[in-house]
């Protein structure tokens, strides 16, 4: 028997990029702990890290291709699988056109180096414009605002939380997420540090979240009205001359336009709609603007709503006009070792909007993809370019996108589906062939995406811990083979060679970076805190920030029309708003097959305010029917004052009761799917992002 060894790597189960120290013997894991020498996480890990062991040892995980037959699933060889997949894609495109093949990439795609680097070429070899990802049920408004204001859809301002004096968090719960689109391991400790040093943290959310419990102040807000709050804050800042115009104006356009538009939103005019007192709004604006350093951060709650694009735009505007953009302690831009954004200056891929439209609803494309809310319609609606087949990569849209039951029916009608996934789940059960990849501890990792969003510039390469078997394939190997067969063009580079090529362009030359050099630093390399980079980092034609992009300013008219509806406050058949909820032990639906992450009390419950429960005569843990315009679910309730009156909260990613899957642990903790209630017709009309926060429901005991 081998002696006990130590392996260092980055956890890839969420955005936090926590460093791990794994003790193992032979192929047995002894312990998974935080790596105290990791320069970003400094020894912190959350409970999800232990799921890497569950994932590696999971008996339900697929390791070789399987094919669906009339008599059930059977194992097939890789050669047979490749032949069938490529021949069916070619046949369907020959019969129905190039756009008859749709694709969907799930959230885990960006957590895997191979999928991140090689999926693009694979989709190009298919050639279809029917491209969908989890982006449009998550963070598309972030991309939209960045493209319109800074000229690049990946140029995100990241909160410099370790040096800020005032943090305003709207619609985010980073104490649980550890900083979604703000890679920030041990966020809670960092937040407490702000307070310890005399700073202040304010949270705006319809739920008194885990982050709220750490903050100095929390304000409840009516779901979907965050844009009004942001406009009112800007109204006060401009009216009271609290801007930093002199400092910022020489690198920005649109000051006059912004100042004129926010005049229409004094706090008194919107406070009743949003549920926050006008004096509290004014005080918040003054505190933010006069703080030595400050940053506003808005995440899932302000993105997945009817005015998500406006919200993310106004957050950027708030940070900019108060002098807190590109400034220490404010919102700053990263400079990662592999600088995907910087490399765009050579390749020119800065993002696009509305260069073509979707077939059924004429939704605008964004950076080469359509809103996933229209996917079911593109499958079931006859006509030229109707989707006849799907390629699903590391995704479970039946549980993660609006109106999952309707998407199920659409998938049932497909002529063909291939899934690149490790599980037979609620989506991949509709596939004809599933191609499983290696995962977790069997894969190398350089986190391409989340270094772009990190609160500190670091670089780290994680080598494989356990070698794959001869029968297994890495994700990049599968994608390379399919790409070669479909396009006739072979890419000779493997994953490490591709990374080496990209590292040649790094702005960091001490040490000169390569994969072999990174291997010498198993804990990672620290390049320091974020630094000021404007105007050089901008991709706008005049190297100036566009504070008032025309398309966003015009969208304020839609908001004005909505205000009139809010003011009427008419009674509705569906009187409650439903919002989501994330747990520290969960991220995506596939994590529910980890025995460690689902242990303890059942978490798929609905939060109800005590006054609402009393009015409806509901009792603790009572199972109630919740009905929206598209469906009904039955769910036990928790009665708590930590949810705003008139608002309900249900966690996402559950609903593992569907037949035909092979995920035993998840099936034993099935829960129900929030997306059996959400409506695919409810989107942010500007960006196409799903409007989850706008879901209205009724409760029946």
Distances (CA, A) of 331 to 149, 275, 298: 14, 27, 12
The Cβ of residue 676 has, within 10 Å, a number of other Cβ atoms equal to 21
Tell me what the pLDDT averaged over the chain comes to. 96
Whether the per-residue pLDDT at 1 is higher than 80: the answer is: no
CA 44 to chain centre: 22
> Do residues 76 and 69 touch, judged by C-beta distance below 8 A?
no
- Residue 110 shares a structural domain with residue 145: no
Whether 117 is covered by a domain: the verdict is yes
Q: Quote the pLDDT of residue 348.
A: 66
Q: Quote the pLDDT of residue 250.
A: 87
Q: Look at residues 423, 442, 439 and name the one whose alpha carbon lies nearest to residue 431.
A: 423
When pLDDT is averaged across residues 620-637 and rounded to a whole number, the result is 97
Whether 563 is covered by a domain: the verdict is no
CA 586 to chain centre: 13
- Residue 79 shares a structural domain with residue 36: no
Determine the Cα–Cα distance for residues 199 and 165; give it in Å rounded to an integer. Answer: 4
When pLDDT is averaged across residues 626-634 and rounded to a whole number, the result is 97
> Do residues 539 and 350 touch, judged by C-beta distance below 8 A?
yes
- Residue 287 shares a structural domain with residue 145: yes
Q: Quote the pLDDT of residue 405.
A: 97
Q: Which residue has the higher pLDDT, 647 or 591?
A: 647
Q: Quote the pLDDT of residue 245.
A: 83
Last residue of a domain, one of 31, 57, 83: 57
pLDDT band at 452 (very low <50, low <70, confident <90, very high): very high
Q: What is the pLDDT of residues 88-141, one digit of tens each?
A: 999 999 999 999 999 999 999 999 999 999 999 999 999 999 999 999 999 999
Q: Which residue has the higher pLDDT, 454 or 248?
A: 454
- Residue 203 shares a structural domain with residue 308: yes
> Do residues 408 and 673 touch, judged by C-beta distance below 8 A?
no
CATH of the domain at 78: 3.40.50.740
Nearest-5° Cα angle at 123, 121 to 129: 130
Range of the domain at 669: 571-700
Determine the Cα–Cα distance for residues 307 and 313; give it in Å rounded to an integer. Answer: 10
- Residue 435 shares a structural domain with residue 544: no
When pLDDT is averaged across residues 562-586 and rounded to a whole number, the result is 89
Last residue of a domain, one of 502, 518, 553: 553
Whether the per-residue pLDDT at 347 is higher than 70: the answer is: no
Whether 228 is covered by a domain: the verdict is yes
Whether 16 is covered by a domain: the verdict is yes
Whether 505 is covered by a domain: the verdict is no
CA 100 to chain centre: 27
Q: What is the pLDDT of residues 210-225, one digit of tens each?
A: 999 999 999 999 999 9
- Residue 312 shares a structural domain with residue 415: no
Determine the Cα–Cα distance for residues 631 and 633; give it in Å rounded to an integer. Answer: 7
Whether 591 is covered by a domain: the verdict is yes
Whether the per-residue pLDDT at 383 is higher than 80: the answer is: yes
Number of structural domains found in the chain: 4
Query: How would DSSP label each residue in 43-84?
Result: T---GGGGHHHHHHH-TT---S-EEEETTEEEE--HHHHHHH
- Residue 616 shares a structural domain with residue 548: no
Determine the Cα–Cα distance for residues 307 and 561; give it in Å rounded to an integer. Answer: 12
- Residue 126 shares a structural domain with residue 159: no
pLDDT band at 512 (very low <50, low <70, confident <90, very high): very high
When pLDDT is averaged across residues 618-627 and rounded to a whole number, the result is 96
- Residue 133 shares a structural domain with residue 147: no
Considering the chain, what percentage of its residues have pLDDT values greater than 70? 99
Q: Quote the pLDDT of residue 246.
A: 81
- Residue 299 shares a structural domain with residue 420: no
CATH of the domain at 53: 2.20.25.90
Whether 513 is covered by a domain: the verdict is no
Whether the per-residue pLDDT at 346 is higher than 90: the answer is: no
Q: Quote the pLDDT of residue 132.
A: 98
Whether the per-residue pLDDT at 148 is higher than 90: the answer is: yes
pTM over 0.75: yes
- Residue 356 shares a structural domain with residue 331: no
> Do residues 674 and 652 touch, judged by C-beta distance below 8 A?
yes
Determine the Cα–Cα distance for residues 550 and 354; give it in Å rounded to an integer. Answer: 14
CATH of the domain at 179: 3.40.228.10
- Residue 165 shares a structural domain with residue 310: yes
Whether 63 is covered by a domain: the verdict is no
Q: Look at residues 584, 452, 427 and name the one whose alpha carbon lies nearest to residue 143.
A: 452
């Amino acid at each position: 028997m081998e002696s006990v060894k130590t392996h260092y790597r980055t956890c890839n189960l969420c955005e936090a990029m926590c460093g791990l120290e794994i003790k193992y013997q032979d192929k047995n894991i002894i312990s998974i702990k935080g790596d105290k020498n990791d320069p970003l996480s400094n020894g912190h890990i959350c409970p999800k890290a232990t799921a890497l062991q569950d994932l590696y040892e999971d008996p339900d995980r697929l390791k070789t291709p399987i094919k669906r037959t009339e008599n059930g699933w059977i194992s097939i060889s890789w050669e047979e699988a490749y032949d069938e997949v490529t021949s069916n894609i070619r046949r369907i495109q020959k019969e129905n056109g190039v756009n008859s093949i749709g694709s969907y990439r799930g959230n885990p795609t960006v957590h895997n180096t191979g999928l991140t680097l090689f999926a693009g070429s694979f989709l190009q070899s298919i050639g279809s414009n029917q491209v969908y990802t989890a982006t449009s049920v998550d963070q598309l408004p972030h991309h939209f605002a960045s493209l319109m204001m800074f000229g690049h859809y990946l140029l995100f301002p990241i909160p410099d939380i370790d040096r800020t004096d005032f943090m305003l968090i709207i619609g985010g719960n980073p104490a649980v997420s550890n900083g979604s689109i703000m890679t920030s391991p041990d966020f809670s400790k960092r937040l407490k540090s702000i307070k310890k040093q005399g700073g202040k943290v304010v949270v705006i959310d319809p739920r008194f979240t885990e982050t709220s419990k750490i903050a100095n102040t929390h304000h409840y807000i009516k779901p979907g009205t965050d844009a009004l709050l942001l406009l009112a804050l800007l109204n006060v800042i401009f009216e009271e001359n609290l801007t930093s115009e002199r400092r910022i104006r020489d690198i920005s356009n649109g000051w006059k336009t912004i100042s004129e538009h926010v005049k229409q939103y004094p706090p008194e005019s919107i406070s009743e709609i949003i549920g926050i007192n006008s004096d509290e709004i004014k005080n918040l604006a003054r505190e933010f603007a006069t703080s030595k350093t400050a940053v506003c951060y808005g995440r899932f709650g302000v993105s997945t709503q009817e005015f998500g694009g406006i919200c993310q735009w106004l957050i950027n505007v708030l940070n900019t006009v108060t002098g807190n953009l590109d400034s220490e302690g404010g919102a700053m831009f990263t400079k990662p070792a592999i600088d995907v954004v910087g490399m765009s200056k050579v390749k020119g891929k800065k993002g696009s909007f509305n260069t073509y439209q979707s077939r059924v609803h004429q939704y605008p494309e964004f950076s080469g993809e359509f809103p996933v809310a229209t996917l079911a319609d593109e499958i079931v609606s006859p006509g030229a370019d109707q989707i006849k087949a799907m390629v699903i990569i590391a995704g479970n849209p039946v549980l993660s996108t609006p109106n999952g039951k309707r998407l199920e029916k659409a998938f049932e009608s497909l002529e063909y589906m291939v899934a690149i996934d490790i599980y037979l789940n609620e989506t991949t059960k509709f596939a004809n062939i599933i191609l499983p990849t290696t995962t977790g501890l069997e894969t190398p990792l350089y986190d391409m995406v989340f270094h772009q969003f990190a609160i500190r510039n670091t670089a780290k390469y994680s080598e494989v811990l356990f070698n794959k078997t001869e029968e297994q394939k890495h994700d990049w190997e599968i994608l390379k083979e399919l790409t070669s067969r479909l396009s006739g063009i072979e890419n000779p580079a493997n994953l490490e060679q591709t990374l080496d090529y990209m590292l040649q362009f790094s702005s960091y030359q001490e040490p000169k970076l390569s994969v072999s050099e990174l291997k010498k630093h198993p804990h990672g390399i620290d390049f320091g805190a974020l630094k000021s980079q404007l105007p050089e980092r901008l991709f706008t034609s005049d190297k100036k920030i566009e504070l008032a992009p025309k398309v966003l300013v015009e969208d304020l008219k839609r908001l004005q029309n909505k205000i009139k509806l809010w003011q009427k406050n008419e009674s509705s058949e569906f009187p409650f708003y439903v919002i989501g909820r994330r747990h520290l032990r969960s991220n995506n639906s596939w994590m529910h097959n980890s025995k460690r992450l689902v242990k303890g009390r059942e978490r798929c419950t609905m939060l109800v305010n005590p006054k609402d429960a009393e009015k409806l005569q509901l009792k603790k843990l009572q199972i109630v029917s919740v009905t929206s315009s598209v469906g009904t679910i039955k769910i036990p309730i928790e009665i708590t004052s930590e949810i705003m009156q008139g608002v309900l909260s249900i966690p996402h990613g559950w609903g593992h009761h569907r037949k035909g899957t092979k995920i035993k642990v998840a099936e034993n903790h099935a829960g129900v799917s929030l997306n059996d209630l959400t409506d695919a017709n409810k989107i942010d009309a500007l960006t196409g992002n799903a409007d989850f926060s706008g879901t209205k429901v009724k409760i029946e005991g």
